[in-house]
Amino acid sequence: MTDDAYAAARASAAKLAELSGQDQHDVAVVLGSGWAPAADALGAPAAEIPLDRIGGFPVPTVAGHVPAARSLLAGSLRVLVYLGRAHLYEGHPVSAVVHGVRTAAAAGCRVILLTNAAGGINESYHVGQPVLLADHLNLTGRSPLAGPEPPAGYGSRFVDLSQVYSARLRALARQADPDLAEGVYAALPGPHYETPAEIRMLRTAGADMVGMSTALEAIAARHLGLEVLGISLITNPAAGISPAALNHAEVVAAGQASAVRVGTLLGQILPGLATTAGG
């Protein structure tokens, strides 16, 4: 990470403002694999902008991730929706993986909703179930705060992660859907799926679900003072639990099948964010 990563985010935020016609945004949403249809449930886009026009974003190469951002109005909130994300396993540096988060912060967002597709380790979970992230295990071996100190005007790289995922936002989510479960998300670098032995290890370590994203974004968001809500969509039972071999196409299909339902849930949560994000 270098000072240039923060400058790049400010430049992307300025371009976003120009192309969207909005001086700032209040809330950011990052959609996981196959979740793009969820954006439609959040509201009609005022603008949809290819990421390469905003600048600084690597183009997603993974099926189920759309290289575009939407600007839309949800009640009184101006929402920035990323229809896809970059991953470490695509060969990107950590700064590229968290560029969307830093751009959102530079664009004025104070709240970010991070979503993902995840394998279920907790055997009470079922395919198509949304689960709130109560915490995470960052097993990527990386941090967006490694390297030189952040430039002047940014917080210390020694960020407290006692409460990465906001208890307040989780309570708002449960008001929208009292049946929402909570769990611990284990983030691995991928792109291969885990072995059954690794899943047994993760269960012993306290993980309820496993995926290949989100944790680095959440760390970068907390460093910048954003309030974070994380939601996993269980798209498959994890290795050793699943009776069949794991398949990315099936993960995307499961995400697409539940995306509108989850988008509706996000749409119900967003109004409650106005006091923090908009004020």
Active site members: 33, 65, 87, 89-90, 117, 212-213, 236, 248
DSSP string over 151-207: PTTS--SS---TTSS-HHHHHHHHHH-TT-EEEEEEE---SSPPPHHHHHHHHHHT-
CA atoms within 13 A on the CB side of 63: 10
The amino acid at 251: V
Lookup: tokens for 107: 């664009």
Burial of 174 from C-beta contacts in 10 A (0-12 / 13-18 / 19+): middle
Please report where in the chains the tokens 């989780």 appear, as a residue.
Answer: 170
